């Protein structure tokens, strides 16, 4: 499983979720949510490394969408 965390602006707003909520393309919105859900299950599908730790998910629906993300690895410490 992959933990999904959205970037939060200094104001506390979630730019990704706000953009997704405003998106008029219902098929695109559903496709992106399903894709992020699949990533949470460990299936990244069509993705590619860009640069400087940034990756992109390519979503081939409607005009085509890209979701950019970074990965963080957390190593638990033993007491």
Considering all CA atoms of the chain, what is the largest pairwise distance in Å, rounded to the nearest integer? Answer: 50
Q: Indicate if the pLDDT at residue 76 is higher than 90.
A: no
Query: pLDDT tens, 5-16?
Result: 999 999 999 999
Banded model confidence at residue 78, pLDDT cuts 50, 70, 90? confident
* Cα–Cα dist 15/8, whole Å: 7
pLDDT tens digits, one per residue of 15-72:
999 999 999 999 999 999 999 999 999 999 999 999 999 999 999 999 999 999 998 8
pTM (whole model) above 0.85: no
């Amino acid at each position: 499983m992959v933990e999904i965390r959205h970037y939060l602006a200094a104001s506390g707003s979630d730019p990704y979720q706000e953009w997704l909520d405003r998106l008029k393309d219902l098929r695109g919105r559903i496709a992106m949510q399903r894709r992020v859900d699949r990533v949470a299950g460990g299936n990244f599908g069509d993705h590619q490394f860009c640069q400087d730790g940034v990756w992109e998910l390519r979503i081939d629906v409607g005009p085509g969408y890209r979701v950019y993300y970074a990965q963080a690895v957390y190593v638990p410490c033993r007491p």
